[in-house]
Amino acid sequence: MLVLIFTTIITAFAHAADREKLLTDPGVFATFAAFRLDEDWSKLDKGTRAAAVSAAKEALQRHSADAAIDTVLLRGLSDHADVLLRVHAMELQTNQQIILDLLASPLGRHLTPVYVFNGLTKKANYAPAFPDEIKTALKATPEAGPKRYAIVIPIRKDAAWWLLDKDARTAMMKEHTEASLPYLKTVKRKLYHSTGLDDFDFITYFETSSLADFQSLVLGLQQVKENQHNRRFGSPTLLGTIQSIDETLEALAAGQ
């Protein structure tokens, strides 16, 4: 099932250099946490909601020195949840504390956790063994400018995948990569390893301004042999548009 979401990237919550490092380096823990607002939230007066949202923002900003935090507004487009956090830090405990601090805030008292995904960024496992032409293609520069849409897809592999030797998995991932090459400039992808940290094996995060290209990418990946080992793909799949943190918080404060 597709869950439509509005995504917000918070550039002010972490120092630019630290944020860039957290979003690109291996060995970084990421948590995706989705929450549902209770019915009492909409019954609060506008001033009380605005104060609660402001306090929640302050709670998140307290972690700006050691985490990169993205917020997501789900309300109005999903019957599963209203708000999602995407948090990156060097320690998973930091992500946990950020969520606990949010839940302890006036806004957090109206939030119920719905989904929590955890993953770790790593160096590419298979790319070093790819032919030079594929390695060169993988260095293609994405189209300039911010992307309009964000998509999150968790994946779980079957047992047979992990029983394959590395050469067999590399061959399948080479085919997987070749299918994705036409979309490298229009679809940005980030992979998180979740085995042992979550019920999934991977969390995949995408940004694009062309959902048509993204759909074509997914359809292409469903035709490669590696896809036969996907025991679970999505469920949930999170899809949304990227907006500013102020727009997201204003929507919450307005009770929208």
Neighbours of 125 (CB within 10 A): 13
Q: Taking each helix axis as running N to C, give the angle between helix 211-221 and helix 166-180, from 0 to 180 degrees, rounded to the nearest 10.
A: 150
- Please check whether residues 107 and 148 belong to one and the same domain: no
Residue 7 sits in a domain whose CATH number is 3.30.70.1030
Q: 16 and 249 in contact (C-beta within 8 Å)?
A: no
Say if residue 192 is in the same domain as residue 214. yes
**132 and 204 share one domain:** yes
Question: For the domain that residue 158 is a member of, what is the CATH number?
Answer: 3.30.70.3420
Please state the length of the chain: 256
What is the domain extent for residue 180?
127-239
Q: What is the pTM of this model?
A: 0.87
Token pair 């204003």 is found at 250
**185 and 222 share a domain?**
yes
Q: Provide the 8-state DSSP code for 140.
A: P
Is residue 100 domain-shared with residue 177, that is, in the same domain?
A: no
CA dist 95 and 121 (Å) reads: 14
Whether the ω angle into residue 128 lies within 30 degrees of 0, i.e. cis, is: no
Q: Are residues 202 and 135 in the same domain?
A: yes
Q: Are residues 235 and 137 in the same domain?
A: yes
Q: Which residues pair with 80 in a beta bridge?
A: none
Tens-digit pLDDT profile for the chain (256 aa)?
A: 444 444 444 444 434 338 899 999 999 999 999 888 899 998 999 899 999 999 988 998 899 899 999 887 777 777 777 878 899 999 999 999 999 999 999 999 999 999 999 999 999 889 999 999 998 999 888 888 888 888 889 999 999 999 999 999 999 999 999 999 999 999 999 999 999 999 999 999 999 999 999 999 999 999 999 999 999 999 998 887 787 777 777 777 886 6
Residues 6+ apart with CB under 8 A from 11: 19
Decide: 127 and 174 in contact? Cβ < 8 Å: no
CA distance 254 to 141: 39
Same domain, 232 and 246: no
Query: Catalytic: which of 19, 62, 86, 189?
Result: 189
Domain shared by 36 and 88, yes or no? yes
Question: DSSP state, 222?
Answer: T
For this structure, is 189 an active site residue? yes
CA distance 183 to 217: 7
Q: How many domains does the chain have?
A: 2
